[in-house]
Structure 1
Amino acid sequence: MGRTVPTWRNRIEAELGSLENFRRALNSVDRNALDQLVNGVRNRRTAGGMLPAHDSWKPMLLSMLLECHSKIAELERTIEKLTDEV
């Protein structure tokens, strides 16, 4: 008997694919930012699959927020390191 529910990976790839027209309309800076957020979702696929959700966007947005937080934390560490060197 086959699956009746698409896999988490297939669900998020379908959702991310639906953003393609939006992505194409963005300028290059915003397109790059969106690509980084999308990669954050893909990098956290396993964790997203552990969160039971009927709406794919909830775990996807959480993954995007984590991606943003990771970038901010990385920048804060860099600033702190540079400040210590001065």
Structure 2
Amino acid sequence: MGRTNPTFRDTIRAVEDDWSDFRRALRRRDQPHFDRLFDHVRAHADAAGYLNHRTPEIPMIVSIVLEQERRIDELEAHVDQDDVGDQSTR
């Protein structure tokens, strides 16, 4: 049987393992935020694997930025909705 190439999810695990010392050195309050970054990467693993970029950290970073951009849009929509509600009560 031939060898198979590692999946992008395997690559994510390897990078996460490489950064485990960094995570451990973070303050406890920052560790969940660090973990969430890898959650964002895993959420887009299929797209990143399909890209098959020669530097896997690049699609990982783009996945994180994409999720943060989505969150910013959600928060802005929430703030805009609150602003509309405040104006209607005046």
For the criterion TM > 0.5, the same-fold answer is yes
Post-superposition shift, 1:9?
Answer: 1.2
Answering whether residue 43 of structure 2 is matched by residue 10 of structure 1, we say no
**What secondary structure is seen at the aligned counterpart in 1 of 2:38?**
helix
Post-superposition shift, 1:30?
Answer: 2.3
TM-score under structure 2 normalisation?
0.84
In 1, the alpha carbon distance for the partners of 2:35 and 2:14 equals 15
- Kindly provide the CA deviation profile for residues 21-73 of structure 1, in whole angstroms up to 9, marking residues without a partner as x: 11111113322221121100011111111112121101111101111111111
Corresponding residue number in structure 1 for 2:64: 64
Provide the alpha-carbon RMSD of the alignment. 1.4
Greater CA drift, 29-38 or 46-55 = 29-38
- Large movers: runs of 4+ above 2 Å: 1-5
* Paired residues, number: 86
Segments of 5+ residues of structure 1 without an aligned counterpart are none
TM-score under structure 1 normalisation?
0.88
Answering whether residue 76 of structure 2 is matched by residue 73 of structure 1, we say no
Segments of 5+ residues of structure 2 without an aligned counterpart are none
Corresponding residue number in structure 2 for 1:52: 52
What is the aligned-residue identity percentage? 36
In 2, the alpha carbon distance for the partners of 1:35 and 1:82 equals 30
When residues 33 and 48 of structure 1 are mapped into structure 2, their CA distance, relative to the original with a 3 A threshold, is same
Post-superposition shift, 1:2?
Answer: 2.6
Answering whether residue 63 of structure 2 is matched by residue 38 of structure 1, we say no
